[in-house]
Amino acid sequence: MREIYLDNNATTRPLPEVVEAVRAAMTEGWGNPSSVHGCGDRARRLVNEARETLAALIRARPTEIVFTSGATESINTVLRGLADAARGTPPRIVITAVEHEATIECAAALRAGGAAVDVIRVDELGRLDLAHAEELLSKPATVCSIMYSNNETGVLLPVTRIAAICRDRGIPFHVDATQVPGKAPLAVEELGCDFLSLSAHKFGGPMGTGVLYVRRGARFRRLLHGAPHEGARRAGTENVPGIAGMGVAAARMAEGIPARREHLATLTRRLEDRLLRIERTRRNGAADERIPGTVNLSFAGIEGSAVVLTASREGVCFSAGSACSAAQFGGSHVLEAMHTPFEWLHGAVRLSCCADTTLDDADQAAAVIERSVAYLRSMDPKAASGRG
Ligand code: PLP
């Protein structure tokens, strides 16, 4: 059975050249990059090359790149570091209601430790309430953290507008750009952020490797204490194979963005054209303010997780909400923040494409999903009749 993988917002298949770069790093560049001998030298060269490539991807200076274990660590470093560094008044953190758990749970832990956390609302299409953002950012804050595009709906958040407000008020600003590489250009100067987080496995790189961009001169406190790696900003021996692989993936993502976007937009339209024809189905999120490639739909009367399991028996892989919330079988906090009515909340699925997804994949996946929905509704007469 051929598998059709439409869960690229959860993780991406590593690119073949990434697998090769990881293999090469483990066979030839396995030294400790802090060692002064030849073995260390080879590992250090791999790390430095990747640092240059990652810097080029987001138009930063190589010295502004800190390698981490992924976006979760990067986000925790910024939020906790700035909260710890706040002197005098208790820290105040501003986030949005649709952030990834990495941000929401970190903010919750800081709140338990005495920080104030204010959450910017979104509307029913997942768009940020700018007036609410302005109101919350009119008071002093320790840090504001928002995502560039939402991992469940693909909806874009107005990062440059928020950056301008933060700059005016002197509030450090972090962008979670985890879902963006390869799908939109990333230039930190244009975004106007002080910090930006990435995770390699979301763009064809290996898991367990990520980036934290720290603007030169930005106030910063490290999360992990130990030996002074990464310019004393992150302790722990660098994950050289992961970093080397991420560098290769970043080089690929920096190229061909317009063509990739066009292809992803075509796939999005194709999937939605087919799936929205299914009775009592709706789209979640603003159709015209999304990063291309992510489709979030709800089927009334059935559970999204049941559709996922039924379709997976025919080799089609996607998720109900985000992979993280799906694992808990709860409703998505993103769709809840969008005031999605109960019957739509539980029937939500997310399909996310990549550059290698074909139109034939989209058609076949749509056919399987259509069959799965019909089957599940036929099992429950209430769902079939619309009274579920
Ligand atoms: N931020 C966003 C928007 C994400 O989609 C994810 C992963 O799903 C993360 C942060 C966390 O990434 P990781 O689990 O690689 O640390």
Spans of the chain below 70 pLDDT: 322-330, 381, 383-388
Rounded to the nearest whole angstrom, what is the distance from the C-alpha of residue 178 to the centroid of ligand 1? 6
Give the C-alpha distances (Å, rounded to integers) separating 334 from 7, 126, 145, 155, 178.
17, 8, 16, 11, 16
pTM summary value: 0.96
Distance from C-alpha of 165 to C-alpha of 173, rounded to nearest angstrom: 10
Residue pLDDT, tens place only, 194-232: 999 999 999 999 999 999 999 999 999 999 999 999 999
Distance from C-alpha of 143 to C-alpha of 158, rounded to nearest angstrom: 17
Which of 178, 294, 322, when mutated, tests ligand 1's pocket best, judged by the most ligand atoms within 8 Å of its CB? 178
Distance from C-alpha of 208 to C-alpha of 96, rounded to nearest angstrom: 25
> Torsion angle, CA of 368/373/376/382, rounded to 10 degrees?
-170
Rounded to the nearest whole angstrom, what is the distance from the C-alpha of residue 352 to the centroid of ligand 1? 14
To the query of whether residue 144 is one of the catalytic residues in this protein, the response is: no
- Provide long-range contacts, Cβ within 8 A and 24+ apart, for 33-38: 33/237, 33/238, 33/240, 34/227, 34/229, 34/237
Task: Kindly give, in sequence order, each residue whose CB lies less than 8 Å from that of residue 61, ignoring residues fewer than 6 positions away.
Answer: 55, 216
Q: Could you tell me if the CB of 209 is within 6 A of ligand 1? A: no
Per-residue H/E/C for the chain? CCCEECECCCCCCCCHHHHHHHHHHHHHCCCCCCCCCHHHHHHHHHHHHHHHHHHHHHCCCHHHEEEECCHHHHHHHHHHHHHHHCCCCCCEEEEECCCCHHHHHHHHHHHHCCCEEEEECECCCCCECHHHHHHHCCCCCCEEEEECECCCCCEECCHHHHHHHHHHHCCCEEEECCCCCCCCCCCHHHHCCCEEEEEHHHCCCCCCCEEEEECCCCCCCCCCCCCCHHHHCCCCCCCHHHHHHHHHHHHHHHCCHHHHHHHHHHHHHHHHHHHCCCCCEEECCCCCCECCCEEEEEECCCCHHHHHHHHHCCCEECECCCHHHHHHCCCCHHHHHCCCCHHHHCCEEEEECCCCCCHHHHHHHHHHHHHHHHHHHHHCHHHHHCCC
Rounded to the nearest whole angstrom, what is the distance from the C-alpha of residue 72 to the centroid of ligand 1? 6
Rounded to the nearest whole angstrom, what is the distance from the C-alpha of residue 107 to the centroid of ligand 1? 15
Distance from C-alpha of 255 to C-alpha of 203, rounded to nearest angstrom: 13
Would strands 116-120 and 173-176 be described as parallel, antiparallel, or unpaired? unpaired
Q: Could you tell me if the CB of 179 is within 6 A of ligand 1? A: yes
- Which residue type, as a one-letter code, is found at position 46? L
Distance from C-alpha of 341 to C-alpha of 302, rounded to nearest angstrom: 14
- Answer for the pair 311, 298: CB distance below 8 angstroms, yes or no: no
Q: Could you tell me if the CB of 95 is within 6 A of ligand 1? A: no
Q: Could you tell me if the CB of 15 is within 6 A of ligand 1? A: no
Rounded to the nearest whole angstrom, what is the distance from the C-alpha of residue 362 to the centroid of ligand 1? 25
Distance from C-alpha of 105 to C-alpha of 368, rounded to nearest angstrom: 35
Which of 100, 155, 332, when mutated, tests ligand 1's pocket best, judged by the most ligand atoms within 8 Å of its CB? 100
pLDDT of res. 91? 97
Among candidate residues 106, 166, 324, 354, the one labeled active-site is 324
Cα angle 331, 286, 283; round to 5: 55
Q: Could you tell me if the CB of 145 is within 6 A of ligand 1? A: no
Residue pLDDT, tens place only, 54-106: 999 999 999 999 999 999 999 999 999 999 998 778 999 999 999 999 999 99
